[in-house]
Amino acid sequence: MTAPLVMPEVITGLSILLLFVAMGDTFGLFQERGVMTIWIAHVTFCVAFVTVVISSRLGELDKSLEEAAMDLGANRVKVFFLITLPIIAPALASGWLLAFTLSLDDLVISSFVSGPSSTTLPMKVFSSVRMGVSPKINALATLLIAIVSVAAFIGWWLMAREEKQRQRDMQLALQQGG
Amino acid sequence: MIARLRRYLPDGKWAVIAPPYFWMLLFFAVPFAIALKISFANIQIAMPPYTSLTEWVGDTLTVKVNVANYLFLLRDSLYFNAYLSSLKIAVIATFFCLLVGYPIAYAISRLPTASRNTALMLVVLPSWTSFLIRIYAWIGILKNNGLLNNFLIWLGVIDEPLQILHTPIAVYIGIVYAYLPFMILPLYTNLVKHDNRLLEAAYDLGCRPWQAFLKVTLPLSKAGIIAGSMLVMIPVVGEFVIPELMGGADTLMIGRVLWQEFFNNRDWPVASAVAIVMLILLIVPIMIFHHYQSKELEGRLT
């Protein structure tokens, strides 16, 4: 499951395109390469990254919580939805964010699997950067950096607020306990 | 009877694990088999632009295996040189990533717990903006009338602008910059777990700080170093964007050669052969990575 993590993109892109072409030849699938083939290819190379993020969180999971829920009569499905899923929710969110960024940013794999009718933003940026300096790209860069800075600042602020709240709660609990 | 049968039937766990494995088998493993097959085909002007390996004529099945693509890779020194220079660039860039990344990871792991997350966020924050935009920014810094050259001329260090962009140096700068987070994160995950008492014990026994580092910290972080190095080195071997945009016309890297074979020459069989040979070269590093990552990467990659 971890090989896609390090596999050079040119290899992944070329071979998955050859799969699509072969499937088109034999089964008549994916005759039109476009959004669908880009989706499949992006899911394939993002899965490994998301797996790493979520499995590391699952590894830290306190098993006794699940066992407690089972002792209290919950079945496995219920335990998963009521206990496991809420605990790993932050990892799911960061896994999703990672996959989102990787997919949004990908040039090489998209170039291989996209048809003539579909272009992604990185493909546009790449072709205009290859041509040389262009004010459009500078404008795009400014926009992107502004958006990411604002989002990062909000994220950082929320995290800091939560941490403070947690510490306050802990102190409160300690005082009440003592 | 049913109970005995159930032992051999897949249980619920399999129903959960099977779909993703099937997906990866179909879209990640099978494509390599197809690439291997096509690397033995001939180029033809048609769609798809390669010949079929098998042919039914009457009742006979003929299988034609064409090794000409591989012989072509062997005979044309361009390909050999491209593999060699890709490996060289990957090894040197990984070394510099380690040189820059280790102190950063070490410093972050020694920070107070509260500031660690902020520091880590600063490491990954640039990756949230577009990779191409960051490479574009580096072009703006390194070009002849770019920021760096103008600054150096203003300082009076140089009179003529230095030619950095479109040289191998620019490629090294780009790769080290772009892959640094992949080195720092596994190293950090390893270093942050170290027990400080080991260092204190080393000091008590008369070690100087650098001796303690060499004898305690460095050996303990071996797995992190290997995981980080592989995470950088393996993708860099096939890197296309950085040499294409920052390197010169003569910066030979195999990812670039494959791209040209596929998109410019439309020679799919040769492109497949290039990919298969690259894959064979990378199998051992990938296996080493797989071995260490299960231990090391379990931390954070976000």
Q: How many domains in chain B?
A: 1
**B110-154 tens-digit pLDDT:** 999 878 888 888 888 888 888 899 999 999 899 888 889 999 999
**B75-101 tens-digit pLDDT:** 888 999 999 999 999 999 999 999 999
- CB nearest A107 (choices: B132, B137, B302): B132
What was the pLDDT predicted at B260? Answer: 92
In a domain, B281, yes or no: yes
| Contact flag B255-A122 (C-beta cutoff 8 Å) | no
| Contact flag A56-B286 (C-beta cutoff 8 Å) | no
pLDDT at A130 over 60: yes
Contacts of A94 in chain B (CB under 8 A): 302
In a domain, B280, yes or no: yes
- CA–CA distances in Å: residue A29 to residues A33, B64, B78, B124: 10, 26, 37, 39
Contact map slice: A 33-72 vs B, CB within 8 A: 40-41, 43-44, 47, 49, 52-53, 55-56, 59
- Whether A129 and B135 have beta carbons less than 8 Å apart is answered as yes
A2-16, B7-21, B28-42, B199-213: lowest mean pLDDT where?
Answer: B7-21
Average pLDDT, chain B: 87
- CB nearest B271 (choices: A14, A137, A155): A14
In a domain, B220, yes or no: yes
B166: domain CATH number is 1.10.3720.10
Question: How confident is the model over B18-45, as a mean pLDDT?
Answer: 87
CB atoms within 10 A of CB A143: 11
In a domain, B289, yes or no: yes
| Contact flag B23-A47 (C-beta cutoff 8 Å) | yes
What are the b/e assignments for B255-290, b being 16+ CB within 10 Å?
bbbbbebbeeeebbbbbbbbbbbbbebbeebbeebb
Task: Enumerate long-range contacts of B39-47, CB under 8 Å, 24 or more apart.
Answer: B39/B69, B39/B70, B39/B269, B39/B272, B39/B273, B39/B275, B39/B276, B40/B65, B40/B66, B40/B67, B40/B69, B40/B269, B41/B66, B41/B268, B41/B269, B42/B66, B42/B68, B42/B269, B43/B266, B43/B267, B43/B268, B43/B269, B43/B270
In a domain, B286, yes or no: yes
In chain B, the residue whose alpha carbon lies closest to the alpha carbon of A147 is B129
**Owning domain of residue B246:** 69-296
pLDDT at A82 over 60: yes
In a domain, B114, yes or no: yes
Q: Which of B132, B245, B253, B264 to mutate to test the interface with A (most CBs of A within 10 A)?
A: B132
In a domain, B278, yes or no: yes
What was the pLDDT predicted at B5? Answer: 63
Record the pTM. Answer: 0.86
